């Protein structure tokens, strides 16, 4: 049990590092590219921490992020991934109501990835996503990742503020 907790938290840390790098990217493609590695490490982390809905959602997110990275995430694939991710996530949920949070977070981010075109919009979507994952991570005892969720959420808020401030200065 301790080995799974330790290994899961190592992968959680790696996921958090990739996510942190993604939020400082100026371009949407770079942001999504780093999130491919984030979701891959997240899938491995959740497998070790035995949160199977989160694991399957993370696998679906790897696919979604790859499609978005290569510009292939159209309306049909977005809806298909949303439906499949929700169905598979709910089917594999072994954590009760808390297991729904990764499913909801994935649905929110998938929709935002399709409809939002700017890195700034993606940052706001990421903040919402991180808050849902924070609750889940605390519940599954992934405390280092929960700390990283808080740090990344605050960092993303900071980056969003800096970006909006820079945009306001350039408009004047």
- Contact between 81 and 63 (Cβ < 8 Å): yes
Which pair of structure tokens corresponds to residue 171? 């408009």
d(CA 110, CA 115): 9
Domain that holds residue 127: 2-171
Confidence at residue 73, expressed as pLDDT on a 0 to 100 scale: 86
pTM: 0.80
Q: Using one digit for the tens of pLDDT, what is the confidence trace for 66-104?
A: 999 999 988 899 889 899 999 999 999 999 999 999 999
Tell me 140's DSSP state.
T
Q: Which two tokens stand for residue 16?
A: 């958090």
Give percent above pLDDT 70 in the chain.
Answer: 97
Residue pair 146/54 in contact (Cβ under 8 Å)? The answer is: no
Q: Are 35 and 27 in contact (CB under 8 A)?
A: no
Amino acid 14: pLDDT = 93
Q: Which residue has the tokens 């929700």?
A: 86
Whose CA is closest to 98, among 152, 53, 59? 53
pLDDT tier, 114 (very low <50, low <70, confident <90, very high otherwise)? confident
Question: In this model, does residue 171 exceed pLDDT 70?
Answer: no
pLDDT range class, residue 169, cuts 50, 70, 90: low
Q: How far apart are CA 7 and CA 87, in angstroms?
A: 28
Query: Average pLDDT of the chain?
Result: 90
Residues in the chain: 172
DSSP state of 141: T
Number of structural domains found in the chain: 1
């Amino acid at each position: 049990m301790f080995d799974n907790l330790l290994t899961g938290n190592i992968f959680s840390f790696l996921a958090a590092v990739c996510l942190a790098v993604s939020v400082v990217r100026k371009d949407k493609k770079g942001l999504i590219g780093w999130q491919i590695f984030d979701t891959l490490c997240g899938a491995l982390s959740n497998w070790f921490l035995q949160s199977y809905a989160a694991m399957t959602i993370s696998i679906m997110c790897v696919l979604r992020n790859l499609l978005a990275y290569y510009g292939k995430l159209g309306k049909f694939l977005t809806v298909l991934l949303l439906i499949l991710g929700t169905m598979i996530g709910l089917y594999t949920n072994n954590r009760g109501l808390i297991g729904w949070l990764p499913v909801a977070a994935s649905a929110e981010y998938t929709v935002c990835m399709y409809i939002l075109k700017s890195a700034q919009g993606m940052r706001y979507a990421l903040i919402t996503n991180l808050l849902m994952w924070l609750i889940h991570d605390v519940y599954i005892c992934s405390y280092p990742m929960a700390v990283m969720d808080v740090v990344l959420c605050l960092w993303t808020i900071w980056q969003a503020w800096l970006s909006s401030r820079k945009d306001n200065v350039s408009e004047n």
